[in-house]
Structures are given as C-alpha cells and as structure tokens.
Amino acid sequence: MKNRHILALALLMFLLNACTDNYTSTDYLKKVLNNLETIESATYTIISENWCHGDTVASDIYYSFVKEYDNPSDTTIGSKFVRLNSSDTSILEFCYDGEMRALVYNDEKRIVLDSFNVNPKPFRPLAPPFFNYAKSILTYALETNDSISLDIKDLKDYVYLKLTIYEENQVEFFGKAFHMPISPYTYGENTSIYELWIDKTNNLPFKTRREMYHNISVRICENLELNVIDIQDFKASDYFPEDYRIESYRLGGKRKKKNELIGKEAPGWILQTKDKLPFSLTDLKSKVSMIQFTSVSCGPCKASIPFLKELSSIYKKEDFDFVAIECTSRNTNVLKSYMNRNQFEYKFVLSTKEVLKSYSIRSFPIFYILDENRIIRNVIYGYGKGSTENEIKTIINELIK
C-alpha cells in the first residue's frame, strides 16, 4: 500500500508539473509566439524611450496611440499601422499602409509620401509596430542559425528574455531580421541585444529593449485592446488633415537648395552646458566661429570628434572657436556621459526646439561657419573623413586672412 501511495503521489506531481508552464523553456517562447500569431489587430498606447550608454535618465520620452493590423499580404513588414498623438488622436504622427510610409511634419503642415522607389533597400526603413516587432524578435530567436545566447528568467508576474547576438554585423528587425552592412562608425561594437518582458496573465510581451553601439531604445505597451478593429476599415488618407500639403519623397532634395541663412546673421541663442551653465552665441568671440549640430546617436557625428579635437589645437582662440550643439537629447546628463566616453573637453551644449527650427536642422552633423560679425558664410552637411576636414579648414583659413 505504501508503495502505491508513493506512486500515486509521484503521478500527481507529474500531472501538476505537466499542467504548469515552464516559463524558462523555449517551449514557453513558442507558446508566446503562437499567441502573437493570433493577433489580427491591436490598439494601445506606446511609451517610447531613447537612452544613451552610461546614462541614468532617458534622453527622450514620448507617448503615442497606435492602431496596428496584421497584414500577411505585405511581404516586407507584414503589418499596417498608424501612430497618433496620445493626447489628441486627431494628430497624425506616422503611417504605413503596406505600400508607402507617410512622414508627417506637423509644424509645417506637410506630409511626405515615400513609396520606397527613390532609394531602394533590401528592407523598408521604418520602426515596425510593437507586436509585429516582438514577433520578429521571437521568430528569429527560435529559428536562427546565427551565433546567439538566450537568457530566460521567471520573475514572478512576468518572464524576462534577453537575446544577445554575436554576429559580425548588427541585426535589426524590419518585419524580419536583417544583418546590417558594417558601418565605419561602429568601432567594432557589433553585438546586438534585445530584451522582452512577457506578461504571464496573457502570455504576451508588454515591453521591449534594444541596445546597439549608438543608442538604447525602450518601448512599453499599455492600454491594450486586441482584435476590436478591422483591417478592411484602414485607409491611410483618412488620417491626412485636409489643410496639409502632400509631397513625394525626394532623396537629398533639401541639400540641393542653397541654405537661406547663408549671408545672414546667425540666430542668437543661450543654451546649457553639461554643468547647466549658460553658454550663448555671443560667447564665441573669435574671427571665425563654427557651430556643429550633432547627435549622440549619430555615427558620423561620433567619427568627427577626433577632427574637432584637432581643430582645438591647431588654431589660436582669437582666430577660431567652435561649439557642438546636441540636438536629440533632452538632459545634461547625456552631455556628461558622451564627453567622458569620447574623451573631449570642447564646448558641448544642449539644444532646444526653437534653435533647431531657427537653423532648419533635420539631419546630423551640420556645420555652420560664421565670420567675426556672426554672419553665416558657409554650411556643410554631413561628415566624411578627409574631405569634410579639408573643406572646413580651407574655409577657416580663408576667413582668418
């Protein structure tokens, strides 16, 4: 009898374990992937955060309301979606309908439509919606032959997954995994890290984190409703405001026009340094001054740092001085971290939306070169080692004479 009780208890324990999810197994991840496959549509609020390496505070946080549809007929992304302002859902932020993306410039009442014909790539350069993105990551983690490691932890109310990819190229997800071409600005930092937080109550991801050499991005999904909207009702143009100008995407169209600020006095500003001290345009008192509009998440901007450090050493202060203006971050902690990691001491300040607008900044890096009267004499877009350096030095030398 005693042996029968032991066998019965052992059988009961086996059945109980069989009915309980093993949250740390790849079988559980397959279950989550199956759940994602059942999502035909979803509405939710997305909280997007951008982080800089070594920082303790997000450099940028914004909220959006998203309508996401599964779209198997689109063999690129596999989704349609619209992103709206979370406070006022009548304000369009971005739209993708399977054939084109709509780039929205609300401050200019302008929408640019890109059908991906101007600059064809093997992928469509857009950030997929949350569940499409999570599905791509899980599919890759379970099926890839790449060199990866998986860390799965059962953490009470949720399951944590960390996917680390050890490939020569970094891996990005645009509907599926793409090994990105080697950038000359990665400096050998090619490891890609993706993290997912999965809610045990519905076995669906609610948070993702992506870590690359240049930045860290986090997305948190809230106020989720599943399968309550129909893809048949989705029409991109329904979200276009009637008074907005509609344009077609043109590669490099902006750079062909002469910058309208050339020959005019540079717009004034007072901005914060890493120590939260004021620094103004009038503090540049040299014969020639330069303003670099830059971003801590920009590879070419990072590549220009040795050149900027060189400029600090080859010109006298009375002849030449410059300042770099950080354009994508929102706090001075980012300035400190970036300066420490890249070991430079030249003036580095935090921009405002007003400054970006007054100088028409939409890409990085951009160099504005001013004479002693703060008249803008030249504007140089982008950075190429050697060519851009020679161009800037030539302009400086001519103005110093």
**% of the chain at pLDDT higher than 90:** 73
**pLDDT tier at 157, thresholds 50, 70, 90:** very high
Name the β-bridge partners of 207: 197, 220
Query: CA 394 → CA 369, 385, 391, distances in Å?
Result: 11, 15, 5
Mean pLDDT of 75-91: 96
Q: Where are the domains of the chain?
A: 20-248, 260-400
> What's residue 17's pLDDT?
46
**pLDDT tier at 238, thresholds 50, 70, 90:** very high
Q: Which residues of 126-162 are buried (b: 16+ CB within 10 A; e: fewer)?
A: bbbbbbbbbbbbbbbbeeeeeebeeebeeeeebbbbb
Residue 8 in this model has a pLDDT that exceeds 80: no
Higher pLDDT, 304 or 298: 304
User: Rounded distance, CA 391 to CA 301, Å?
Assistant: 16
What ranges in 224-368 are assigned the alpha helix state H?
A: 253-256, 299-303, 305-314, 332-342, 353-358
pLDDT per residue over 26-35, tens digit each?
Answer: 999 999 999 9
> What's residue 21's pLDDT?
67
Q: Quickly tell me which residue has 């990665």 as its tokens.
A: 186
What ranges in 184-319 are assigned the alpha helix state H?
A: 253-256, 299-303, 305-314
pLDDT per residue over 56-80, tens digit each?
Answer: 778 778 999 999 999 999 999 999 9
> What's residue 251's pLDDT?
66
pLDDT per residue over 194-214, tens digit each?
Answer: 999 999 999 999 999 999 887
Q: Do domains 20-248 and 260-400 have the same CATH topology?
A: no
Q: CATH homologous superfamily of domain 260-400? A: Glutaredoxin (3.40.30.10)
**pLDDT tier at 329, thresholds 50, 70, 90:** confident
**pLDDT tier at 95, thresholds 50, 70, 90:** very high
**% of the chain at pLDDT higher than 70:** 90
> Pick from 37, 36, 62: which is nearest to 49 by CA?
62
Residue 332 in this model has a pLDDT that exceeds 90: no
Confidence (pTM): 0.79
Residue 88 in this model has a pLDDT that exceeds 70: yes
Q: What is the mean pLDDT of the chain?
A: 90
- In terms of C-beta density within 10 A (0-12 exposed, 13-18 middle, 19 or more buried), how is residue 52 classed? buried
Residue 253 in this model has a pLDDT that exceeds 50: no
CATH number of 20-248: 2.50.20.10
**pLDDT tier at 18, thresholds 50, 70, 90:** very low
Put residue 78 in one of left, alpha, beta given phi > 0 → left and psi -120 to 50 → alpha: left
Residue 275 in this model has a pLDDT that exceeds 50: yes
> What's residue 57's pLDDT?
74
> Pick from 261, 315, 263, 314: which is nearest to 284 by CA?
315
Query: CA 24 → CA 31, 207, 248, 388, distances in Å?
Result: 12, 18, 48, 51
